[in-house]
A and B are shown apart, each in its own frame.
Chain A
């Protein structure tokens, strides 16, 4: 069971309080009704599925209820950073990683 730091509650809580929310930083197109089939496929179905640092969403479902983002390494399962929804995607440098170190 992972320990997850909720950036709103400012506390580490057990994973069972949270719900994984899929890949982060996939914005819903504002003109969604007009996008092509390919664009819709890319938006709704295609996923990075990173082996390395992944950016993902969590919801503190049994806590504050808020969605937030996390950078986590999918091989070690270690959290590198959690940050509030709406904050920009951190660069690898901001995560303290060199490029190429993401794997």
Chain B
């Protein structure tokens, strides 16, 4: 892999950029691999990368039915934060957060990780109690998170409306200064390039249609639109399509897939310095490096694989945005889109071995998986390579729904963004 650098760009500028090589190749699948990852989103590609880098397992294929990074990785609003409530969540999201810092250098790919701060707004007494609970728990877990008064919040985010007379006045906010955003495509591409460089095969436009099993029920490979591919270990990282893939191995999942919409405005000169989230009024907003306001909407109420949703969902979200930022009513929506998010009953992910030998699953990230990408990928690679979980993902088992040991972030926050 030829290294990316300012020098490389200058060199290529001299020769009309003719010397760049493909960031990843498009190989035909081998007969078999040591590990097959199903799903080439950020989590799946990252898993392959860490399998190669940390565990020396390079005979790996990542199989993708569409184009890499084309699922929720390329459709989310790129919020990164780790100020979750429970120790278990702090463990996995904190693990991710530490990996974000330095990921560009690790991958030699600028993922534009931006620590611009994530501000979560409290609109009522219940929010204040809940956020303070988060802040105290985070502090003792060594995770930054601080309380801001409405005035401090306004100072941090000048467009914010802190009028006492608004419908839901702002009573303060929890700020994670090290929270922020990253460039979503670059995360997928950076992992793809780095994994490819270590020998991982990324096989796009190849749909898995079945999972083959041996005499003891163990996995032996996958049936795909490009034929059978053998393996002893499969990691399913298929987000909204997880239920469909797991069903191929006879495993029914505690998941429901919902449409989740997002939108961007036309590009504007810098006006919004940070990320603001309000779970109470359902508003999630930041400004991209191109100048677009990036706004996350809620899920539709019914399960769907359509990657579209209703206008009333967008409508509700923009109501909230303009309530918090009344000067934005004249800003224009430029593009809206939808993804499919897989949601668990306790709104926490599953990164786990399964009852099928050799089959591993990483799913259930709901509306907030992007932020976890490096941590999830790193821990999942560990789980697959060692056949036992990393301490960061040990609590996120599939069997917690049997035992009742839930990690209920939904109980602590209306939406687990």
Contacts and interface: CB of A to CB of B under 8 A. Distances in A.
Interface stretch (B8-16, B28-36, B105-113, B304-312): B304-312
Q: How large is the interface on A (under 10, 10 to 19, 20 to 34, 35 or more residues)?
A: 20 to 34
A100 B41 CA distance: 28
Contact of A74 (B253, B306, B312, B342): B306
Interface in A4-54: 15-16, 19-20, 22, 37-38, 40-42, 44-51, 54
B301 interface: yes
B255 interface: yes
A15 B304 CA distance: 14
Interface string B300-324: 0111111010111000000000000
Contact of B241 (A1, A19, A44, A51): A51
Contacts of B253: 46-47, 49
Nearest to A103: B244
B39 to A, nearest CB: 15
Interface in B191-247: 241, 243-244
B307 to A, nearest CB: 9
B113 to A, nearest CB: 33
Contacts of B301: 15, 19-20
Contacts of A48: 243, 252
B403 interface: yes
Contacts of B342: 49
Contacts of B241: 51
Contacts of B304: 74-75, 77
A15 B301 CA distance: 9
Interface string A43-85: 0111111110010100000000000000010111100000000
**Most B C-beta atoms less than 10 A away, residue of A45, A49, A74:** A49
B383 interface: no
Given A19-B301, A74-B304, A51 B243 contact: yes
A48 B253 CA distance: 7
Contacts of B311: 1
B102 interface: no
A42 B355 CA distance: 15
B305 A47 contact: no
A49 B243 contact: yes
B256 interface: yes
A77 B244 CA distance: 17
B270 interface: no
Interface string B325-353: 00000000000000000100100000000
A41 B301 CA distance: 23
Contacts of B257: 49, 51, 74
Nearest to A39: B402
Given A47-B255, A74-B303, A41 B310 contact: no
B66 interface: no
A97 interface: no
Nearest to A70: B302
A2 interface: yes
A37 B402 contact: yes
B254 interface: yes
Nearest to B313: A1
A45 B244 contact: no
Contacts of B402: 37-38, 40-41
B401 interface: yes
Nearest to B257: A49
Nearest to B243: A49
Given A45-B345, A45-B401, A46-B252, A51 B305 contact: yes
Interface of B: 241, 243-244, 252-257, 301-306, 308, 310-312, 342, 345, 401-403
20 contacts: A1-B310, A1-B312, A15-B301, A20-B302, A37-B403, A41-B402, A44-B401, A45-B345, A45-B401, A46-B252, A46-B253, A46-B254, A48-B243, A51-B241, A51-B243, A51-B257, A56-B302, A75-B305, A75-B306, A77-B306
Given A40-B402, A51-B244, A75-B304, 20 more contacts: A1-B310, A1-B311, A1-B312, A2-B302, A15-B301, A15-B310, A16-B312, A20-B302, A38-B402, A47-B253, A47-B254, A48-B252, A49-B244, A49-B253, A49-B256, A51-B243, A51-B257, A54-B303, A56-B303, A74-B305
